[in-house]
Amino acid sequence: MPRRASVLFGVVLAWAVAAVVAPRAFAAETAWQPLFDGKTLDGWTPKIRGHAAGIDPYGTFRVEDGLISVGYEGYERFENHFGHLFYHRPYERYELLVEYRFVGEQARGGPRWARKNSGVMFHSQSPQSMGIDQDFPISLEAQFLGGFGTRMRPTLNLCTPGTHVELVTGELETKHCIAAEAPTVADESWVIVILRVDGHGRIEHRVNDATVLAYQHPVVGGGVVSGFDKTVKVDGTPLSGGYIALQSESHPVHFRRVMIRLLD
């Protein structure tokens, strides 16, 4: 999703600060379960802007060498054909592990802000409920960013298409993107991130076993989403669960693992 310039201002790699954000104690947890089997996209549904759910005419999402590969060889120009690959069932309380890396060059016609930009959407509406020309699902996004040049671009920020969250201080945050106190990954290294999601309660973003962002009480609201069915977007509705989706925003990206662990 696009970044506000103010989001990046003043962000530092404050690992010591991030580490003191104490995770909430949960009861028993299940074992990690893969959502991607390493061979097929069984259980996953693509939704590309301009097309109905289940139709990926450009071959954006495919399995190559045991990875979910997001590529744009089938596009003459990207032209805002944002896409998402949805897992088939919704979840409420869980930990989600995603391992990703950026590769190659951005597709022709991709927006400047989308260079080395992807993410995972969660607490999302279903792909079938999205409009044909809807750009992003109403959801929360754990944003994946890669660095280039000397610019700091911390990964695992929060972006909120059609949603708002409350800060851990209790203040409602209506800004579209909230920066994480996380590292900038400038090369094509694999990055492992974990989301800890407590339904409508506390949500944490983690990188390298450190909590880099925490917030709570997500609700439907705000903008930065277009083409949606107005009956789906009822502002003020609490978000306690929803679908998980991987993004395509014009820069090639690989996903090696997508795993979930349910919280009791």
pLDDT attached to residue 104: 97
**Residue 17 confidence (pLDDT) above 70:** no
Question: Quick one: how far is CA 264 from the chain centroid?
Answer: 23
CATH homologous superfamily of domain 5-20+30-262? Exo-inulinase; domain 1 (2.60.120.560)
Element (H, E) at 65: none
- Condensed to tens digits (0 to 9), the pLDDT of residues 91-119 reads 999 999 999 999 999 999 999 999 999 99
Other C-beta atoms within 10 Å of 193: how many? 22
What b/e string do you get for 111-148 counting C-beta neighbours within 10 Å, with b at 16 or more?
Answer: eeebbbbbbbbbbbbbbebbeeebbbbbbbbbbbbbbe
Residue 201: phi, psi to the nearest 5? -90, -140
Output the pLDDT for position 2.
58
**Angle CA 129–133–136, to nearest 5:** 65
pLDDT digits (tens, 9 = 90+) for 185-215: 999 999 999 999 999 999 999 998 899 999 9
Q: What is the pTM of this model?
A: 0.89
From the number of C-beta atoms within 10 Å of its C-beta (0-12, 13-18, 19+), residue 191 rates as buried
Query: How far is the C-alpha of 25 from the C-alpha of 20, rounded, in Å?
Result: 14
pLDDT of residue 30: 76
pLDDT in tens, 137-178: 999 999 999 998 888 899 999 999 999 999 999 999 999 999
Going by pLDDT thresholds of 50, 70 and 90, the confidence category of residue 20 is very low
